[in-house]
Structure 1
Amino acid sequence: MTNKILVTGVAGFIGFHVSKRLLNEGYTVIGIDSINDYYDVNLKYARLAQLESPNFRFYKVALEEKTLINNIFEKEKPTIVINLAAQAGVRYSIENPDAYIQSNIVGFMNIIEGCRYHGVEQLIYASSSSVYGANQKMPFSPHESTEHPLSLYAATKKSNEMIAHTYSHLFGLKTTGLRFFTVYGPWGRPDMALFQFADAIINDKPIKVFNNGDMLRDFTFVDDVVESIYRLTQTEPSPNESWDALQPDPATSKAPYRVYNIGNHSPVSLMDYISTLEKMIGKEAEKIFLPMQAGDVQKTHADVDDLIRDTDFKPNTTIEQGIAAFVSWYIKYNEGVLK
């Protein structure tokens, strides 16, 4: 297998961390990112600066630019593609649905077509725990149906899984979908709760606490996500020979297709999450309690048994460890140490 891996969303939160790990492991990383202004582009460029290496090449391209994406596949000929680029955010998908169709569906099609026509051996792609939508059976299992998404963002991620299965079936493309559960950590996104909370607390501003704080999340530290993805690059999905069309298993197939949950499998209450952050910062937050937002869910909890079985890895970073690492990074970044 070649040591060349294409990573989309390379200037994004997870894409940056995955690429850094791959470079440290000796891979050549071909990075793609549009550097859109959904959040501060300076943070994206700061992440890219951390990736500078003779083994790193970067292309500033949007996924929906089909010709340019195809040219990159033709030139670079990666063996593995890790598609982490997407228009992110559940709430923003209500305000700007077109961005999600373009990036998450049209863009995904361009990537998977590139894989089909250019000899890619495996496509690993970001899905989301949001696909579980209206499901309430806990923990969320990839072997359960996910037919009731509650946001357009979730619907686009569900569509990615369905498109991937079709390509695995028709063309034998090995595809692995990753349902991420509330990823947090250093270099995180400014639109996510931990970043917003830290910024508000440090600057003596109130924080918004939705559903009056009655929320449970399977918060997952980014290093655990990276380890999971890295281990999945070292294996390949194979057909499930015992797959039963009369009792279809959504997580596997007769095709070389898999879907995994990537989560900490230990839900934490939002109020405990906030209190841990307050402890690490050394200051109590002023809280504004608000109702649940449209498209949101009250609880997430990941069943990661398949991930543990197939990768021999169990995400295990505690929120105390993870939030401490985030706060340390946040302070250094905002002091200009890491820019």
Structure 2
Amino acid sequence: MKYLVTGTAGFIGFHVAKQLLERGDEVIGLDIINDYYDINLKHARLANMGIQRDKVKNGEMVQSESFSGYRFIQLDLSHKDPLVALFAQEKFDVVIHLAAQAGVRYSLTNPEVYIESNIVAFLNILESCRFHPVKHLVYASSSSVYGANEKMPFSTSDSVDHPISLYAASKKSNELMAHTYSHLFKIPTTGLRFFTVYGPWGRPDMALFLFTEAILKGEAIQVFNYGNMKRDFTYIDDIVMGVIKVADRPASPNTDFDKLNPDPGSSTVPYKVYNIGNSSPVLLMDYIHAVEKGLGMEAKMNMLPLQPGDVPASHAEVSDLVRDTGYKPDTPIDQGVKSFTDWYLDYYKK
């Protein structure tokens, strides 16, 4: 199978591409390599996959020095013509679209980039799949779409019409856009609502990275909502396994779909949405204690109120993922955090 994986200089895309290659698939990786966070980390991920920094030039395909089945291209997905040309040339079997402008808090001060990176770019992916059909389009959504919902656990059958950040609204928009293209052009699409992904090679703007960095420097960590938060933290390997198992199973129409009582997570067309989460929410303070244990150091804490755009709790309901794929994320928090802190200490030579 030939895959296009977008966002392969990013956290999740890097891991997904590597897993596909290790099982023998052909992968073309794509990333804009923007400076939302340290591009040195992005290039280090690429180098780990055999794509050397000095070989990367915008719009030019680079062959991996480590994987014969891996090529990488730096491309801005908001530019339609080169993307459509890439689809025409490569004739992908499956697209796994993980590139996006991430971050809830960043969307409060930089809203325009979310429209360009998450809406315009996704439209260009859909249009490319329309004119150069693929067997399956899998794309990253987010648990953020649940917004102001308070019923736990969060289910894909729940309404998600009350986002509380533009980031969340952009991800909900992706789901609506995907459904439209599944309806009009019969493109099988599956959206994946990720729940707080963490692990080695993670994003520097995420709590685990920030906590680890601050603790090692002897600085106070910022603990929002005074620590009274619960998150369905999901280890990267569990996310990757979920992505690939879903990608291997193209979306199909729900033959039991009731138009008088419609299920938001499925449709009469080849469209589906899944949660991918550990389904075992962890208190923020327990997460911090796991970091302390992994580093062998105690954290200093600056207790702060809830940030705008944040939700106090998340909890994934994953029964349909288990039913359809036979897979359930289950990595314990202590194990996952220790894997991250070990990686961090090695990567930064602490």
TM-score bracket for this pair, using the shorter chain length: over 0.9
Q: 2:111 aligns with which of 97, 103, 124?
A: 97
Q: Is 2:84 aligned against 1:61?
A: no
Residues 39-84 of structure 1: CA deviation (Å, up to 9, x unaligned): 0001001101111222111111111011111111111111100000
In the alignment of these two chains, the number of paired residues is 334
**Any stretches of 5+ residues in structure 2 without a counterpart?**
51-66
Residue identity opposite 2:205 in structure 1? D
Q: Is 2:306 aligned against 1:308?
A: no
Q: Is 2:146 aligned against 1:132?
A: yes
Return the alpha-carbon distance in structure 1 between the equivalents of residues 153 and 146 of structure 2: 11
Q: What's the RMSD between the two structures over aligned residues?
A: 0.8
Residue identity opposite 1:26 in structure 2? G
Residues 56-113 of structure 1: CA deviation (Å, up to 9, x unaligned): 1111111101111111111111110000000000000010000000000000000111
Residues 286-335 of structure 1: CA deviation (Å, up to 9, x unaligned): 10000100000000000000110111011000001100100111011102
The runs of 4+ residues in structure 1 deviating greater than 6 Å are: none
Residue identity opposite 2:38 in structure 1? D
1:327: which partner in 2?
Answer: 341
2:165: which partner in 1?
Answer: 151
Residue 129 of structure 1 and its aligned partner are, at CA, apart by 0.2
- The SS at the match of 2:262 is coil
- 1:227-242 alignment, distance < 5 Å: 227-242=241-256
Residue identity opposite 1:126 in structure 2? A
1:190: which partner in 2?
Answer: 204
Return the alpha-carbon distance in structure 2 between the equivalents of residues 144 and 88 of structure 1: 23
Q: Is 2:86 aligned against 1:88?
A: no
2:234: which partner in 1?
Answer: 220
Percent identical pairs in the alignment equals 59
1:21: which partner in 2?
Answer: 19
1:40: which partner in 2?
Answer: 38
The TM-score with structure 2 as length reference comes to 0.94
The TM-score with structure 1 as length reference comes to 0.98
**Any stretches of 5+ residues in structure 1 without a counterpart?**
none
1:318: which partner in 2?
Answer: 332
Residue identity opposite 2:45 in structure 1? R
Say whether the 8 Å CA contact 2:133–2:187 is kept in structure 1.
no
- The SS at the match of 1:31 is strand
- 1:175-324 alignment, distance < 5 Å: 175-324=189-338
